């Protein structure tokens, strides 16, 4: 149990560091979603299912949608400025 949790935490750390070095901003958003999902799995394993379901719904779904919309908006503005 402890080994599984430490493995998950290490993966989460690695993904979190990878977010900084990824060039494409959309990939960074998807990676932050992965961090949220792993966090919700950890919450489930340490017997906090209420927190886990909230983390999965808000961190993985809602935040991603808001970021994707924001990226979409800014990209449209950039292309129109260039033209």
Give the footprint of another protein on this chain (CB under 8 A).
49-50, 52-54, 56-58, 61-62, 65-66, 68-70, 73
Closest approach of another protein to the CB of residue 13, in Å: 26
Closest approach of another protein to the CB of residue 7, in Å: 24
Closest approach of another protein to the CB of residue 44, in Å: 9
Q: Residue by residue, what is the 3-state secondary structure of the chain?
A: CHHHHHHHHHHHHHHHHHHHHCCCHHHHHHHHHHHHHHHHHHHHHCCCHHHHHHHHHHHHHHHHHHHHHHHHHHHHHHHHHHC
């Amino acid at each position: 149990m402890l080994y599984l949790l430490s493995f998950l935490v290490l993966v989460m750390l690695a993904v979190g560091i990878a977010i900084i070095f990824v060039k494409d901003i959309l990939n960074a958003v998807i990676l932050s979603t992965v961090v949220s999902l792993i966090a919700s799995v950890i919450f489930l394993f340490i017997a906090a299912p209420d927190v886990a379901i909230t983390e999965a719904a808000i961190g993985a779904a809602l935040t991603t949608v808001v970021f994707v919309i924001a990226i979409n908006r800014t990209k449209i503005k950039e292309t129109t400025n260039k033209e």
